[in-house]
Chains A and B, each alone.
Chain A
Amino acid sequence: MTRLDPEPPEAALAASAPNLLALREVSKSFGPAGRGGTIALRDATLSCRAGEILGLVGPDGAGKTTLVRLAAGLLAPTRGSIVVLGLDSVKDAAEVRGRIGYMPQRFGLYEDLTVRENLRLYADLQGVPPSTRAEREPRLLRMAGLGRFQDRLAGRLSGGMKQKLGLACALVKAPELLLLDEPTVGVDPVSRRELWQIIAELVERDDIGVLLSTSYLDEAERCHRIEVMLRGEIVASGSPASFRERLAQHVFETRPRSQREARRLQAHLLDRDGIADATIRSGRVRLVVPGSGAADVGRAIEGFDTSSAVATSPRFEDAFMCLVSERLAPPPRIDTDAAEPLGTEVVPSRGPESRAGEPRASDATERAAKVRVKGVVKRFGDFVAVRNITFEVGPGEIFGLLGPNGAGKTTMFRMMCGLLPVTSGTIDIAGHDLRRSPSRARARIGYMAQRFSLYGTLGVEENLRFFGRAYGLRGRVLEARLERALASYELLPRRDTPAGELPLGYKQRLAMAAALLHEPEILFLDEPTSGVDPLARREFWRRIGAVAESGVTVVVTTHFMEEAEYCDRMIVMAQGAMMAAGTPEDIRERARSPENPDPSIEDAFIALAESAARESGLRAQRSEADA
């Protein structure tokens, strides 16, 4: 394990505080030991002190949930000891449970109970005396911003509100230690920010300890200390600052001329040895070179239309990606060339230089728009889900629909795919009016649904064959495309594996290959990276980039704000209306202020959402909760 020194000041302070949680060489395996069993956690040692937020960070399947459950006494360790508040987590489980607060990933709320009833249930179960309750319940409701919604059924709250109610339920007894398992997964940025404010306040005011797991790397920066987990092991721990310091002078930034150039540069860098990570942030390509310095970076970006690289301050995310690339096998190389035949018959020129001068896809006026949305409105009864939306998507563009849950992006998306009729307005897909010739329009689109819609018991190849046939492919054409898809999506070694048994990353690739098999002109992706860890998300966006590079137009919805950086253009939606449209640069511009001279897309989104909420006031909050 990597211990990062020196100890940061806040951790040194915390060392004098009482130790609330101590794991010593804890292992947990499921199923029969040895053959067939799986080891979910191996020799984990950690401690959490009062007044401290300890973050567990790692990709899916790293053992984060197992560790949190062990700490909550919900699992018994196979080996090692767990001491919670000075008590044994298994033997003294009953007492421990009265003194900790625990929020599982799915909140543990009863959807058919109201906000107040849920809170009251947990107060009863925790044995909170009525005198304390009268003071505490209103305070928790206020804190969670649920005061007005006390009598609303929990099932009718928005994702963010549910999560805050779940937290309030975990806090009803004023716990000494708070355990949160991925508390912010699938929650919009505004709610995430609010939740973090609540947690920070709690820690400061009540001096409680918090153990939380997350797969959002930006959230890790807010923890006092971080334990990085990979494949059931804690591989590094320390304060966010200690992680960052290690990479000083190893992180660089360069500003490519265009969004498309940025994507190409990123793909190029990711495949180069010695580069641990390359991302697009605020229109700039960041690259992490743990073993080398400025000279190598200069060589790496040679030949691209971009500014010279300058060193920039590292983030925790950079350190995390370094750890991952050290310990895990490198992600598969994604070959733009291999993806191309799936998208278009024209073999485009290759190499970084030849594309530099081509017209950018965002110059939509130069070629006919692939998707034209004009004045689209969608009503469900009295409820207006989508209000008067207009935009166009040019060929080869990656176009994003952004917005929190309930913003209307899924409704908009379904209308564009012809799955829902519009109330008024028109949608043209590849020149065909979706209303007048829906089947023609539909033949030109590929659609990847949020849950992948694969047949779990069919093999990889059988799934592909089915989708190919469903789109009318057969004979030699089908066979040729099958082979090409299997090869370029690296599914050959698993061609007979049932789709249901595939790891998530493979499922995602298979779903994408299936959606592209009939060579559609437009690919629709609905929340393709939801619930996928940072590694798989990076790989997936590279594939999307490769597909767009081959000429396919991509329309994608996402609630990960940083993913907006991979889009050429986007619209931001809230409460069914369009709040902003444009390139990532345009959107970021909306949040630029003297206090925040270099805002992220997420900052911009929150600024937009807050101003929209202020405008529509109470009505806005209500409709968010309705969704």
Chain B
Amino acid sequence: MTRSMMRLTGFLRKEFLQIRRDPSSIALALVMPVVLLLVFGYGVSFDAKDVPVAVVLEETGPSAREVAARFEASPYFKAVIVHSMDEASELVRRQDVDAIVRLRSDFDRRLASGSAPVQLVVNGVDANQARLVEVYARGVIGAWAEHRRRRGDPVAEPPIVLEPRIWFNDAVRSTDFLVPGLLTLVMTLIGVLLTALVIAREWERGTMEAILATPLRTREFLLGKLLPYFLLGMGGMALSVALGIVLFGVPLRGSFAVLAVTSALFLLASLGLGLFLSAQLRGQFVAAQAGTLAGFLPALFLSGLLFDLDSTPRVIQFVSHVVPARYFVAISQTVFLAGDVWSVVLPNSLALAGIAILLLLLTRMRIGSRLDT
């Protein structure tokens, strides 16, 4: 065994012993993801059910009635049939309904001639709700058009072009795109918190000075700190994926291997952020606080998990490029719901690898080999 290997294995043995003696990091890696996934997975849902909607039937042709009936039958809507736009507007103002679906008096006639616009008016106060309602409405109308086509009735063009998200999430279940996002959130938090304490602890307990005075190289120190927590983190990741598939029934359309490799990259970036904060701040308490803030909040708000990044201001979009979660949200949603789409997986993986390498290099510089570096 070379000296370097001896040092590394000795240091690793010490880290594993410490993890075993203080199982809080095991709990953090394996119990917390399960708890968080359960809480978030069941507690947060973007699905809107029984959205009150006014369907304005300005004429009573068979096609218009069919559409109205579909809205009435949809589990997402609670339709009220009215006969004039004024009545419908009044309902919106009284907040009795959140949207209006208007079928004009010439609906049947124009349908026969090829294009029949359906006017959709959505109360935009709650932007998220509004977008959902829009999506659901398109879904209902799309399903109706599909039904007509199969029946052989003439439909020149589907009146509405479907959104990509509905292609991949044909059940229109928000859980399916939420769970991969949550996975990202949970793994960010765990990755950062697992390592945020480990270098700070050595500083606080005064062992860093003794370690620095031994021939242990900085790269060996870093590897010794990274490897155990990487394994723990991957364990937590596997557990979360299993939970997502088994409990929440999220499909995994891509390959397991791609998910594993990209998860590893993402975890390295998160662990790297934790290590960097730990080396920089040298205090366990501050590092843990900073880790929670720097890991969790950007992952929540700037990753595209809650808010569509395309609709945020340009500055925010720019800032979001430094958030590793952003790339993994894109990868995991794609791999879970669409498959191994290389045009998504490759650039995002590259970005993750870049961030991970940068953070680890910064950490290495920050640790240095002396007390005054």
Contacts of A94 in B (CB 8 A): 215, 217, 369
Task: Determine if B242 is an interface residue (Cβ-Cβ < 8 Å).
Answer: no
Within 8 Å of chain A (Cβ to Cβ): is B3?
yes
- Which of B202-210, B248-256, B336-344 is the contact stretch? B202-210
Complex CA–CA separation, A76 to B369 (angstroms): 10
B370 contacts A93, CB within 8 Å?
yes
Q: Is B128 engaged at the interface, CB distance under 8 Å to the other chain?
A: no
How many pairs, one residue from A and one from B, have CB atoms within 8 Å of each other in the complex?
Answer: 94
Out of B13, B14, B371, which one reaches A74, CB within 8 Å?
Answer: B371
B215 touches A127 (CB 8 A): yes
Please name all residues of chain A whose beta carbon is closer than 8 Å to the beta carbon of B11 when the two chains form the complex: 121, 124-125
CB distance from B95 to the nearest CB of A (A): 52
A125 to B13, CA, bound (A): 11
* B6: contacting residue among A72, A127, A153, CB under 8 A: A127
Binary interface encoding of chain A residues 78-110 relative to chain B, with 1 for a CB under 8 A from any of its CBs, else 0: 000000000000100110011010111111111
B10 at interface, CB cutoff 8 A: yes
In the complex, which residues of chain B have a beta carbon less than 8 angstroms from the beta carbon of A110? 14, 18, 205, 207
Interface residues of A in 182-200 (CB under 8 A from B): none
Q: Please provide the chain B residues from 184 to 242 with a CB less than 8 Å away from any CB of chain A in the complex.
A: 205-207, 209-217
Q: Which residues of A contact B150 (CB under 8 A)?
A: none
B151 contacts partner chain A, Cβ-Cβ < 8 Å: no
Please tell me if A113 contacts chain B, counting CB pairs below 8 Å: yes
B83, CB-defined interface residue at 8 Å: no
In the assembled complex, A433 has its CB within 8 A of some CB on chain B: no
Tell me which of A90, A103, A127 contacts B3 (CB under 8 A): A127
Of all chain B residues, the one with the shortest Cβ separation from A78 is B372
Q: Hey, which chain A residues are within 8 Å of B205, CB to CB?
A: 106, 110-111
Tell me the nearest residue of chain A to B214, going by C-beta: A125
Chain B residue contacts of A104, Cβ below 8 A: 206, 209-210, 213
- Considering only CB atoms, which chain A residue lies closest to B216 in the complex? A125
Closest to B371 in A: A74
A88 to chain B, nearest CB (A): 13
Are A125 and B211 interface neighbours, CB within 8 A?
A: yes
B17 to chain A, nearest CB (A): 6
Judge whether A466 is part of the interface by a CB distance below 8 angstroms.
no
Least CB distance, B117 to chain A, in whole angstroms: 69
Q: Are A98 and B215 in contact (CB under 8 A)?
A: yes
B14-A106 in contact (CB<8A): no
- Per-position binary interface string of chain B over residues 1-43, scored 1 when its CB falls under 8 Å from any chain A CB and 0 otherwise: 0010011011101100110011000000000000000000000
Measured in the bound complex, the distance between the Cα atoms of B370 and A72 in whole Å is 10
| A106, B209: Cα distance in complex, Å | 9
Nearest opposing residue in chain B for A106, CB measure: B206
Take A112-B22, A121-B13 as given contacts and tell me if A127 and B7 are in contact as well, using a CB distance cutoff of 8 Å: yes
Looking at the assembled complex, report how far the CB atom of A162 sits from the nearest CB atom of chain B, in whole angstroms: 11
User: How many angstroms from the CA of A113 to the CA of B22 in the assembled complex?
Assistant: 11
A383 at the interface (CB under 8 A from B): no
B214 to A122, Cβ gap below 8 A? yes
Give the number of chain A interface residues (Cβ < 8 Å): 36
Output the residue of A75, A90, A123, A126 with the most chain B CB within 10 A: A126
State whether the Cβ of A247 lies closer than 8 Å to any Cβ in chain B: no
CA distance A212 to B17 in the complex (A): 32
Does A73 count as interface, using CB distance less than 8 angstroms? yes
| A123–B370 CA distance with the chains assembled, in angstroms | 21
Instruction: Using A93-B369, A98-B215 as known contacts, say yes or no to A123 and B210 having CB atoms under 8 A apart.
Output: no
Contact B7 A108, beta carbon cutoff 8 Å: no
| Chain B positions within 8 Å of A297 at CB level | none
Interface residues of A in 287-309 (CB under 8 A from B): none
A117 within 8 A of B: yes
Q: Which of A107, A117, A126, A153 contacts B14 (CB 8 A)?
A: A117
Indicate whether A471 reaches chain B with its CB closer than 8 angstroms. Answer: no
Q: How far is the CA of A74 from the CA of B209 in the complex (A)?
A: 8
Known A-B contacts A93-B370, A124-B7; A74 and B212 likewise in contact (beta carbons under 8 Å): yes
Which chain A residues (29-79) contact chain B, with CB distance < 8 Å? 30, 69, 72-76
Contact A124 B22 (CB under 8 A): no
Closest B residue, CB atoms, query A113: B17
Of A93, A108, A127, the residue contacting B211 (CB under 8 A) is: A108
Interface membership of A169, Cβ < 8 A: yes
Residues in B with CB closer than 8 Å to A72 are 213
A106 to B202, CA, bound (A): 12
A30-B372, A74-B212, A110-B14 given; A125·B206 CB < 8 A = no
Known contacts A94-B217, A112-B21, A124 near B9 by CB under 8 Å: yes
Taking CB atoms, residues of chain B closer than 8 Å to A123 are 10
In the complex, what residue of chain B is closest to A28 when comparing beta carbons?
B372
Question: What is the chain A residue whose CB lies nearest that of B370?
Answer: A74
Which chain A positions have C-beta within 8 A of B369?
93-94
Q: At the interface, yes or no: A120 with Cβ under 8 Å from chain B? A: yes
Residue of A nearest to B373 (CB): A76
Tell me the bound Cα distance from A90 to B368 in angstroms: 12
8 Å CB contact of A108 from B9, B209, B371: B209
| Alpha-carbon distance A474/B126, docked complex (angstroms) | 59
**Cβ of B21: which chain A residues have Cβ within 8 Å of it?**
112-113, 153
Q: Which residues of A contact B206 (CB under 8 A)?
A: 104-108
Bound complex: CA A117 to CA B18 (Å)? 11
A355 → B minimal CB distance (Å): 48
Q: Are B22 and A107 in contact (CB under 8 A)?
A: no
Inter-subunit contact B210/A97 (CB<8 Å): no
Residues of B within 8 A of A105 (CB): 206
Most A-side CB within 10 Å, residue of B14, B209, B214: B214
B215 touches A121 (CB 8 A): no
Q: Verify A97–B213 contact, CB threshold 8 A.
A: yes
B24 CB → nearest A CB, Å: 12
Partner of A75 from B6, B211, B214, B370 at Cβ < 8 Å: B370
Asked if A102 meets B7 with Cβ closer than 8 Å, knowing A93-B370, A108-B206, the reply is no
- Residue pair B6, A124 in contact (C-beta under 8 Å): yes
Instruction: Pick the contact of B18: A69, A98, A102, A113 (CB < 8 A).
Output: A113
Report the nearest B residue to A124, measured CB to CB: B10
A142 vs B372: C-alpha distance when bound (angstroms) = 36
With a CB–CB cut-off of 8 A, which chain B residues contact A112? 17-18, 21-22
Contact A103:B210 (CB < 8 A) given known A75-B372, A76-B372, A112-B22: yes
Across the interface, B215 reaches (CB within 8 A) one of A30, A97, A153, namely A97
Q: How far is the CA of A75 from the CA of B213 in the complex (A)?
A: 10
Cβ contact of A125, chosen from B7, B370, B372, cutoff 8 A: B7
Which B positions have Cβ atoms within 8 angstroms of A? 3, 6-7, 9-11, 13-14, 17-18, 21-22, 205-207, 209-217, 369-372
Given contact pairs A124-B11, A125-B211, a sample of 14 additional A-B residue pairs in the complex whose CB atoms are under 8 Å apart: A74-B370, A75-B371, A94-B215, A106-B205, A108-B213, A110-B18, A110-B207, A112-B22, A113-B17, A120-B13, A122-B214, A123-B10, A124-B7, A169-B210
Closest 6 CB pairs of A and B: A124-B10, A108-B210, A106-B206, A127-B3, A102-B213, A125-B214
A-B contact pairs, 17 of them (CB 8 A): A75-B372, A93-B369, A94-B369, A103-B210, A106-B207, A108-B210, A111-B205, A113-B14, A121-B10, A121-B13, A121-B14, A123-B10, A124-B6, A125-B7, A127-B6, A127-B7, A153-B21
